[in-house]
A and B are shown apart, each in its own frame.
Chain A
Amino acid sequence: MPTDPKALAYLAAGIGAGMTIIGGGYGIGRLAAAAMDGIARQPNAAGDIRGAMIVAAGLIEGVTFFSLIVTILLAIK
C-alpha cells in the first residue's frame, strides 16, 4: 500500500477524474436520451430542442470541467 502523500494524490486524482466522468456522462446521457425522445415525438421542434440541449450540455460540462481541474491540480501540484 502506498503511503507516500504524492502517490495518494495521484490515486485521488485518478479516482476523482473517473467519478467526474461517470457523473458528467450520466448527466449528458440522460439529457441526450430525453432530447432524442422529444425529437422523435415532435420532429418539427428538432431545432429548438437541439439548441436547448446544447445549452444544458454546456452547463453540465462546465461543472464537470470544474472538478476535472481540481483533479489535475491534485496530480500536478
Chain B
Amino acid sequence: MIPWALLAQVVHEPAAHEGAEKAAEGAAEHHEGIAEILMHHVVDHRYSDLYLFGVNVGPSKHLLWFGIAAAVVLLFVRLGMRSYRKGVPHGLGAALETLVLYVRDEIAEKNIGHDGHKYVPLLLSFFFFILVAALLGLTPFSSTATGNLSVTLGLAFVSFLAMQWAGISKYGVVHHFQNMIPPGLPLWLLPIMIPVELLAMFTRPFALMIRLFANMLAGHMVIASLLLLIPLMASINLAFGVGMVPISLVLALFIMMLEILVAFIQAYIFTLLTSIFIGMNAHPAH
C-alpha cells in the first residue's frame, strides 16, 4: 500500500515539472492505466449474469476460485482418508493428520475445553478452506477467493452462528444472554455493560471478516504494485525500467514468500479466534 502512494506521487511528478499539456495528459492516462491494472488484479470480475430471486449469482472470478478451493480441500481430504484403510496412514494422510491433530489439540481442546471436539469439524473446515484459498491465490492466473469481502462475510457469519450456538445450545436463549453480564456486577453499571456486550457480540465476527479480507488483499496489492514499478520506471527512462527489473522481482518474490507464511497464520488466527470466542460463550465467567 505504501508503494502505491509512492507510485501515484512519482507518476504525478513529470506532469508537474514539464508543465506541457501533452505530458500531463500522458501521465494522467498512464496513471489511470496503473490504477486500473492494480484494481483489475484484486477486484472480482463477473463472467456472465445469472439472476436468481433478483440477486446476480452469475459465475465470477472469485466464485470460480472459491469453488476450486473447496473442491481441492474435499479432494485432498478424501485422498488423505484413503491411506487410513491400511491402518497406519502414510503420505498425504499423515501430512493432513499433523494439521488436523494440531487444530484439535492445540486450538479446539485448549480454548473450548472438554466439549471442544464438537466444534473440530467446523474449525477444520475454516482452517483448510482459508489456507487452501490463500495458497491457490498465489499460483499464476488465479485469484484469492478470501480477498473478497462477501466471502469473508460468509465465513464470519458462520463463525458468528457457531459462537451463539455454543452458548444457546448449552444454556438456553435467556440464560445465554444473561451470561454475557458477569455475576456480581453493580446494578448501575448495567446500562453501560449491556450495550458494550451487545456491541462486542457483533464486532468479534466483524473483526474476523475485515482481518482476513485485508490480509489477503494487502499482499496481492503489494506484489502487484512492486511489479508495476517496472513500467512506471520505464515510462521515465528505459534504463531505469531495466534497472528496476531485478529489484522488483526480488522484492515481489520476498513478499510472495511472506504470503505463504501469511496464508498459514491467517488460517490459524481465524480458527483460533473463532474457537476462543466459542469458548467464551460456552464457559462464561461464573
Contacts and interface: CB of A to CB of B under 8 A. Distances in A.
A18 B39 CA distance: 21
Nearest to B269: A58
A76 B35 contact: yes
Contact of B9 (A14, A55, A61, A68): A14
Contacts of B273: 55, 58
A55 B276 contact: yes
Interface of B: 1-2, 4-6, 8-9, 12, 35, 39, 106, 207, 210-211, 214-215, 217-218, 221, 265, 268-269, 272-273, 276
Contacts of A26: none
22 contacts: A7-B12, A13-B5, A14-B6, A17-B1, A17-B2, A17-B5, A21-B2, A51-B106, A51-B272, A54-B272, A55-B272, A55-B276, A58-B265, A58-B269, A61-B211, A65-B211, A66-B210, A69-B217, A71-B1, A72-B4, A75-B4, A75-B5
Nearest to B149: A69
B56 to A, nearest CB: 23
Q: How large is the interface on A (under 10, 10 to 19, 20 to 34, 35 or more residues)?
A: 20 to 34
Given A10-B8, A17-B1, A54-B269, A68 B218 contact: yes
